[in-house]
Amino acid sequence: MAYGAFQTSVARMATMAVGAVLEPQSAFIDDKKVVETTAGIGVGVIVSRGTNPQTQVVVGVSTVPLGITCRSGDVSGAIGSEATNLPVYKVTEACPVLRSGQMPVYLAAGTGSGSAGSTAISVTDATGVLQLGAASQAGESDVTGVTLETTMTGAGIALVTVDADSFGCTAYSA
């Protein structure tokens, strides 16, 4: 570019759908919270408020659900860990928590398939792993405020929208 010239275009690379990487075009509320879970916390799992509800999170649905963890540019965990929800944030590290917006996440197979617009998503309480379909047994909860934006028939990466105003979990009841 010559001196005094203005840049008139920007090259843009297509984004790859890697689980729990924020969609760059979506508006989001992203809080960084300190990991309290000793074993660490994976990417794309539900976390709840920790001992200090303003600054800490624990994996799963044990207290008040807060949001879904997402990948940060400074994460040392391997790309692809989303599909297994392996811990990538260690205890005392800060992890970003998506409270509102869109991002791809890994969904376990659960009890069925999902169509775009479906809100039938549940979570394994102890691990925070999201799954397709309604909660079907003790230790699972139905998730509210999360909408499936893609159609899927089994486990895999799916685009979801999280709505902070209605986000929550309701324990399975037989």
- The answer to whether position 92 is within a domain reads yes
Instruction: Read off φ and ψ for residue 146, nearest 5 degrees.
Output: -125, 125
pLDDT, tens digit, for every residue of 57-99?
A: 999 998 789 999 887 766 655 444 445 556 688 899 988 888 8
Q: Residue 59: inside a domain, yes or no?
A: yes
The answer to whether the CB of 113 falls within 8 A of the CB of 132 is yes
> Is the residue at 46 inside a domain?
yes
For the chain, how long is the longest CA-to-CA vector? 72
Residue 160 in domain: yes
Model-level pTM?
Answer: 0.79
Residue 85 lies in a domain: yes
Instruction: Identify the CATH number of the domain in which residue 96 sits.
Output: 2.40.300
The answer to whether 105 and 22 have CB atoms below 8 angstroms apart is no
The answer to whether residue 128 sits within a structural domain is: yes
Q: What is the pLDDT of residue 137?
A: 92
Task: Give the residue from 126, 133, 137, 134 showing the smallest Cα distance to 154.
Answer: 133
Per residue in 137-153, pLDDT (tens digit) is: 999 999 999 999 988 88
CA distance 13 to 11: 7
Asked whether residue 38 is assigned to any structural domain, the reply reads: yes
